[in-house]
Amino acid sequence: MARIRTLPDVLVSKIAAGEIVERPASVVKELVENSIDAGATRISIHLEAGGKRLVRVVDNGHGMSRDDALMSIERHATSKIRDIDDLFSIGTLGFRGEALPSIASVSRFRMITAAEGSRSGTEIYIEGGVVRKIKETASPVGSSVEVKNLFFNTPPRLKFLKRPETELGRVLEVIQCEALSRPGVSFEVSSGGRTIHRYGASDSFAQRAAQIIPGTLLYPVDFEDETLALRGFLGSPLDPRSSMRRLFTYVNARPVRDRFINRIIMECYGRMVEKGKYPQGAVFIERDPALVDVNVHPTKNEVMFESQYEVGQSIRRAISNMLADAPWMKGYRERTQKALEDFYEKQKDPGFSENKGYSATGSPPKAASTQVAHNPELGSPRPHNGASSIPEKSPEAAGEDMFSDGFYSSLRFLGQVGKLYLVCEDPDGIILIDQHAAHERVNFERIKKSYLEEAFSCSQKLLIPEVVELTVREINTAQQFAEEMEKLGFNFEVFGESAVRVKSVPGFLRDSDYARVFADLFDELDGLGDPKSLEGHLDTVCATMACHSSITANRTLSEQEARTLFADMDASQNPHACPHGRPVATRISYNMLEKMFKRT
């Protein structure tokens, strides 16, 4: 008997479905794109249990006749391409004819559709790939596709689905991607019988971008050459995010997550954004469909370009031109001049000081003090005969000293350079300390300890609650962790469809940008996969909060404030690295200095 044999159709269908249908979000993506290809101007998405129990997509597209409806559930049956030439000039979102039969093979599937001019519609019910019912029914023009109990007949796939809240977040992300490229189409999303978001139809990409990426200043990009046209909106490098979820890219109106395009964008921003941060915005690339291959990935999330080098150069020119123009800096000279005038005006007031330095509680000190830029008491002169009178320790021994108890408090403070680095001296050389990294470590351990001990008592109620705009997905994450965030000192409530109203914040964050703190926190949580609580990812959450609440560059510290920081560092469990792993201090030994000046 031959060992190689043809697989049965039912098994083939389930294998094919595994490539296309990964989770409820995959179902929503395929059904919404079918609606868009059908010319719909109004699309409603209804969900239960994040789409695990029910996904229903209803549209007002042109619908299908009975014969077309029956053909649509056959594998590789489509109205979008006819021959091989069409495969290399695809202008629609779908084209393979795999989505509906794949979805129907792993769910309880019902489709009701009617074409314009039809006297009645057609209803088809399929269970696990087996057609159970076909009948005429009353229906408006358009289609309604209902997918119940996804993966009910493939338990191994079912058990890998995440919690309903997580799956809902993935679905919302898909809807945002589709909605952003189609401002003329209205989208309404409901979950558990409640409308959770609505995008009204608009003629303006800018208006739709403001709905999808709220609370962010976006600047237009408009470029065209012989290779492609690139339009869209991008944010300032001064306003990045912790992930790429707020960076949307499209090729011929198709949403893609293409590594080539993302790499070019990141190269353009380069060192203008810090490591681990990403720009926000939406980039729409238009290129002759005959020069773009979209048939390279089962989920159609990646593309290949003919003449890829030229495409990359054009994308780079388009974005670099916008960044070189620096629209976020418009009016900078006027603002700078006014700031200088205000500064010199305040200098006339003897009680004025710009110092907003470090204090143990994280709030500005009651009495300001001037910067110690230089300490003349440097001890007795050193010999000038080319030899050092200071005994030099081995690098190993010097390194161990930096990890000894009371190391920071024992340092001799000399001053501050660049309003960022504290300069100190010990018997073996000069110690440079990053004041932001040091304060970040102190705050991180303080926040984490307070959460674990449920001892957070310094939450500060805002006199006027602040409304913070978030994306739909970020709001979903905020609701999921609202109770645990309260333990950290946050108290907020959902306010409308795309915002939260912040009532109180941790005391040490009272001078921070709440919108940025919220966006970064929920962006971090959303990127952790399927966190069931903050406990398992407490370090990530506390590190984000610590970063926002710590003293930054361009902040002057007095010697007293620096010594308070040193004492706090010595009380820390790991005082030699910030929560993100960057070093807090480094030593330049006297031996190294003498080598620099060629004295040895």
For the chain, the domains span: 9-202, 213-329, 358-600
Q: Which amino acid is at 273?
A: V
CA distances (Å), origin 423, targets 365, 371, 405, 566, 587: 21, 12, 20, 12, 10
The pTM is what? 0.68
The CATH number that domain 358-600 falls under is 3.30.1540.20
What is the reported pLDDT for 19? 67
Residue 256 makes CB contacts below 8 A (sequence gap 6+) with 249, 250, 300, 301, 302, 303
For the chain, which ranges sit under pLDDT 70?
Answer: 1, 10-19, 80-83, 85-88, 329-404, 454-458, 510-511, 514-515, 526-536
Could you give the CA distance from residue 122 to residue 575 in angstroms, rounded to a whole number? 69
Nearest residue to 196 (alpha-carbon basis) of 491, 473, 587, 534: 473
pLDDT score for 99: 86
CATH of 9-202 given 3.30.559.10, 3.40.50.720, 1.10.510.10, 3.30.565.10: 3.30.565.10
Q: Which of 124, 153, 152, 150 is nearest to 136 (CA)?
A: 124
What is the pLDDT at residue 402? 57
Report the alpha-carbon distance of residue 497 to residue 184 in Å, rounded.
20
SS3 label, residue 119: coil
Fold entry, domain 213-329: Ribosomal Protein S5; domain 2 (3.30.230)
Query: CA torsion sign, 481 to 484 to 487 to 491?
Result: positive
Phi-psi region of 522 (alpha: psi -120 to 50; beta: other; left: phi over 0): alpha
Identify the pLDDT of residue 388.
Answer: 40
